[in-house]
Structures are given as structure tokens and as C-alpha cells.
A and B are shown apart, each in its own frame.
Chain A
């Protein structure tokens, strides 16, 4: 019986040590929110990117198909534009 209790105690201590050493083992809401990346580093919070309320740079770029050039200025006063910057990787 004593051995059984000792084993349980060692198990609990071991689990505590594991979760402390490797917090990623846990499933905190904060981690899930940011894709497991943890807190946003301060330097990325104020990295000089345009902010809400700023006048947007209305660019012209060609479509993937290369058949036309899209001018964002053409939507001004007419339709909002959602833009997703990104790449495959």
C-alpha cells in the first residue's frame, strides 16, 4: 500500500515537472489563439505597418493570370477591399 502511494506521489511530481519544463504540453487558450506561437513579441506590435484609420496606399498590381492590372483606386467610394498578404510557405 505504501509503495502504491509512493508511486502515485512520484507520478504527480513527475507530471508537474514535465508541464513546468515543457509548457507546450499544456493546452492554454492563449497558445491556441495564436496558432501555438505564444505571445506576440513587442517588436511586431509596433513595426511601422499601416494602422486602422491611416490612408491606405492604393496600389496597382497584375493578376496571377496576367490578363489585367487591378487598380485599388478604382474601388474608392464604391466598394471596400480586403487584402491578404501571404505566400505558400
Chain B
């Protein structure tokens, strides 16, 4: 993530959106290191900022970080929790939309990097996939054509 940011920050914007903890020390399924570091779910916006700052310092991240509000509105719209990767094209549509983490995070990073590499190479944004055509299925018994979308 950090490596990709350093490589492509000249052609794209990058933001971490800090959301609620995935496995805080007081969570139902806490991560051992969350307990060790004493990271609990944030109760206030200020607490969220403190943990986000700690993450950036501990992991030496230089990617700009945005803090989701305590109503988790942006997280809810994007279904970002526990972690997820998106890339917004210049036309405002999503060029990359990964499956939710942890399964989708590494593939999402890979997809975003591939998108950016093509963008740098060609100077054009990779095209969006064609919408799936309507399929026609013939009912063998009646001969009727059923259309599904």
C-alpha cells in the first residue's frame, strides 16, 4: 500500500479512511496485538484520531489519512469494514472495487496497482468492463423466449 502510494502518487490521490477497529482489545474477537497495545474501540472522534496517528507512526505510513465520523457514514456506504480497497476513476465511477478484507485486501491492492500501471503506461484510464448482455433462454416446451437481465 505504502509502496504503491510512493510509486503512483504523481498520477493519483491516495487516502486511508480510518474506520472502526476490526478486532479491538474489547471486541468479541480481539487480535492478540490489540490487547498487547491496548487498542480498544474508539468511543469518540478524538480517540479514533489517536489510534489512527499511532498506526501511521508505528507502520511508518505517509499516505494521507482521513478519519470517518463516529456515525461511520462513509464506512456504511462503502461497506469498508474491516478493510477494503477502492479506486475512483476521474469520471467518478469505480475502477476497482475489492471484496471485503481480509480476503479481498491483497487482491484489491494488486488490482489497484495494475490499474495505475496501465494508466501510467497508456495515459488513459483502463476501460470499464462491458455490462453483461441480456441473455435469452428458450423454453424448450413452449418455445417462448424468456429474457433475464
Cβ A40 vs Cβ B99 within 8 A? yes
- Chain B proximity of A73: nearest CB distance (Å): 8
- Chain A proximity of B79: nearest CB distance (Å): 4
Tally of contact residues, A, Cβ under 8 A = 42
Does any Cβ of B come within 8 Å of A15's Cβ? no
Q: How many A-B residue pairs have CB under 8 A?
A: 202
Does any Cβ of B come within 8 Å of A26's Cβ? no
Interface readout for A56-89 with B: 1 if CB under 8 Å, 0 if not? Answer: 1111011110100010100111111111111111
**Of B17, B54, B68, B86, which contacts A88 at CB under 8 A?**
B54
Residues in chain B near residue A87, CB distance under 8 A: 18-22, 51, 55, 82-83
Chain B residues with a Cβ under 8 A of chain A? 1, 4-5, 8, 11-24, 27, 30-31, 33-34, 37, 39, 49, 51-56, 58, 63-69, 73-75, 77-97, 99-107, 112, 115-116, 119, 125, 128-129, 131
